[in-house]
Every structure is written in structure tokens, then in C-alpha cells.
Structure 1
Amino acid sequence: GWFGDACEKSCVFGTPSNEVCVCDSCHTGVACNVECSGYGACVEGACSCQEAWWGDKCETQGCPGIAEYCTGHGHCSILEQSCHCYSGWKGTGCSTPDCPGAPDCFNRGDCDAINFVQPMCVNCTGGYI
């Protein structure tokens, strides 16, 4: 677990090789002692990143979202690590449909976010359109 000319450098979660520590999965740093870049946790050999951190080892600062920044439904302000959602979307990662009416569709229909570019009310009930 040590390397260097005088075996003075620690290699905590890695394998010493040619004067460097080759890190195991989930670990970074010279001594391979930082789990998921400090922005996540190792779960079954892979990093599970905190919200707004991305990459195999949570090394990339970004914005919250599902599969991509702001779930593809908003603009990412990386410095603030926050999303500015496009019309029809809400939530920290812009992953929640936001149809017209409060609550959505005035509870007289379904908010469809799958079949349209922007969420809209469908299946209106009780004579409403």
C-alpha cells in the first residue's frame, strides 16, 4: 500500500505501480483516498453522485436532472448548479411536468408530458375542453 523512492507515499484504495497509485473504482486523488471525488458514495463498485454532480467518479460539476442536465427541459447555470426550466416544466431538475391550471388541468384531465414537446392537458372530463 506504499510507493515512492523511500516508500513514503500512501496508496489507500489502489495499487502502487511505477511511482503512482492506480485507483480502484470509485476512488480518486494521489493516494486514491477520495471516494467519488467527494461528491458521491460508492455503491456496489460504482459512484452514486450527489445531485448536480456527474461522471464515473462524480468529477464533473453540473446541474440536477435525469440522464442529462435539467433533464433536457431547461437551461443549466453551472456556477449556481441550478436549472431554469422551460415553460411546461418545473422542479430542481426540470423533470416534473407543469400543465396549465392549478392544480394541473384543474383536476379535470391528465397532464401528458410524453406525447407532446411541451406538457399539455388531455382526456378532459365532465364536458371540459
Structure 2
Amino acid sequence: MRPGDSKPRCYNCDHPYIGDKCQYRCENGVENATTFECMCESCYSGASCDAMCNNQGSCENSTGTCNCGFAGYRGEFCERKECPGWGVSCTNHGTCNPGTGKCACNTGWIGTGCQTAKCENDCSSQGTCLPLEPPNTPRCNCTGNYFGLDCGKLCGRGTLIKPDLADLSTWYCTCDSCFTGELCDVECSGSWKLQ
């Protein structure tokens, strides 16, 4: 024992062993000559620096940080279990219940980690669902002459006008000659006659 030590310990452990009884291997780090502890490399933790990202993630070599993935582990070394999600619990598209480890997804999001955008009526198969970031809910991006919040309307014989590209409720149809109606699908209405 050295003076001031409260308990006996080994001081000349063979490399790479450390600890008061030389019981640990300093796997991914270097021994601190003062504290006789293993000082871990980036992404490694534990007395022997043998746990990369707590065995729950992967090390991003470019930044030397843990990528904890989707399963719900969080923290510098993926040491805390929360709710699943990309980057943060519930992918920032819902609320995590720490007691159950389950997400309550915001409107427009589904999946165990609220990771999938779900648009109204699946955009009627006439568009794609845009996964907008909070606080916005996902919205449809309609194709062709389709419009409406769920791309369920077709501007048949007219031109689709889009005053605000981000607000589908502002889109409307202006009809060609001899056609009327919201969808420009009524021919020769009233006194109109085709020539």
C-alpha cells in the first residue's frame, strides 16, 4: 500500500490490465497513471472501455459520437432506454410515455417511433405524402391535375390554379370554355352550347 491509500491495490499491472487487483483490461483506452483507471477512447465506456456505445449503437468515426439508432436508446453512450425513434424519442413527431416506452404519435404520423408520414386517404393514390417537420402535419403533393387535401379531386376540363403551393386548400380549377363546376366536369351548363 502507498501512503494515503485506504485499501490495498496493485500498482504494477501488466499492460493492458488495470484496477486495484489488475482485474480489468483497458481495451479501448489508455491507463491514467494517477487514478489507475482506463481513460476511454471516443464512443467507449465502462471500467475496461469495452462497451462501444453501450452495445446499443454504432460509433460515427467522423465525429467520435454514438449513433444510437432507432430502438430508443439515448445519451452520450446510448445508456438510457426511452421510446423508439430516429435521433430523438418518437422522431419528434409524438410524445413518449416513459413508463411504457411507447409513443403517442401526432396527427399525420404512424409507426412505433412515429417515423412514417400518413396523409389523409393516402393521397387517393394521386400524389405522394410529404413528411413535413413539426409543428406541421404531413400533406399530399398531388400529381397532374389532381387537387384537394387528399388529391381526391380532378380538374377535368380546366386549368389547376395554385395560389399557395404549401396550402392545398387554396387550389382551385378554372374551367375551359363550355365547362363549369368545381371540377370543370359539367358540359354546356345553362345557355352554353358547344359549336
TM-score with structure 1 length normalisation?
0.76
Q: 1:98 to 1:5 in 2, by over 3 A?
A: closer
Shift of 1:38: 2.1
Matching residue of 2:124: 106
**Is this contact kept in 1: 2:45–2:52, CA < 8 A?**
yes
Q: 1:67 to 1:20 in 2, by over 3 A?
A: same
| Deviations 1:13-50, CA, capped at 9 Å, x for gaps | 21111221111112111111122112123353443324
Aligned-partner residue type, residue 123 of structure 2: C
Aligned-partner residue type, residue 119 of structure 1: P
Spell out the pairing of 1:25-104 with structure 2 (5 A cutoff). Answer: 25-44=42-61, 45-50=64-69, 51-101=71-121, 104=122
- Structure 2 alignment gaps of length 5 or more: 1-15, 147-153, 157-171, 173-195
| Deviations 1:32-85, CA, capped at 9 Å, x for gaps | 112211212335344332421122321222222233211221111234433221
Match of 1:120 among 139, 142, 163: 139
Aligned-partner residue type, residue 84 of structure 2: P
**Is this contact kept in 1: 2:132–2:139, CA < 8 A?**
no
Residue 22 (str. 1) matches residue 39 (str. 2): yes
Structure 1 SS opposite 2:123: helix
Shift of 1:6: 5.3
Q: 1:66 to 1:8 in 2, by over 3 A?
A: closer
Structure 2 SS opposite 1:70: helix
* Count of equivalent residues: 127
- Structure 1 alignment gaps of length 5 or more: none
Indicate the structure with greater strand content: 1
**After alignment, is 18-27 or 6-15 more displaced?**
6-15
TM-score with structure 2 length normalisation?
0.54
Shift of 1:8: 4.3
Q: 1:2 to 1:117 in 2, by over 3 A?
A: same
